[in-house]
Amino acid sequence: MAEWGPPTKTRAISSDEFRELSINWGFTRDVGSFRKGTTLDVWTYENKNVELVFHGLRLIAWKTEKGVEELKALTPPEKPKPQTLDEYTKERKKGP
């Protein structure tokens, strides 16, 4: 999946804050048990109306009012990956 780029805002929350947040978001399932003092990262994409919660590199929760198709529309299509050495070399010369 292509990246959305950097979030509009980021913040760190404790595992206790996450439990409260998940209740406010309407989670009805177990949100995981983290040791007291575990820090989680919240990424906010204001222009997409999406919030993501990470435990390290793992996405553990999100909040959005958008449906699957609306979220897909927010994500740019992936570029095809180079298949041959020549294609790879040409792509590298273009730079980031």
Range of the domain at 39: 9-94
Q: Residue 58 falls within a domain, yes or no?
A: yes
The total of structural domains in the chain comes to 1
Residue 87 has pLDDT above 90, yes or no: no
- Helix, strand or coil for residue 83? coil
Instruction: Give the tokens for residue 12.
Output: 């760190």
3 within some domain: no
Whether the per-residue pLDDT at 1 is higher than 50: the answer is no
Tell me whether residue 1 is in a domain.
no
Q: How far is 2 from 72, CA to CA, in rounded Å?
A: 10
> pLDDT (tens digit, 9 = 90+) per residue, 16-65?
888 887 777 777 555 666 777 889 999 999 988 999 999 999 888 888 88
DSSP SS3 for 69: helix
CB atoms within 10 A of CB 65: 7
pTM flag (> 0.75): no
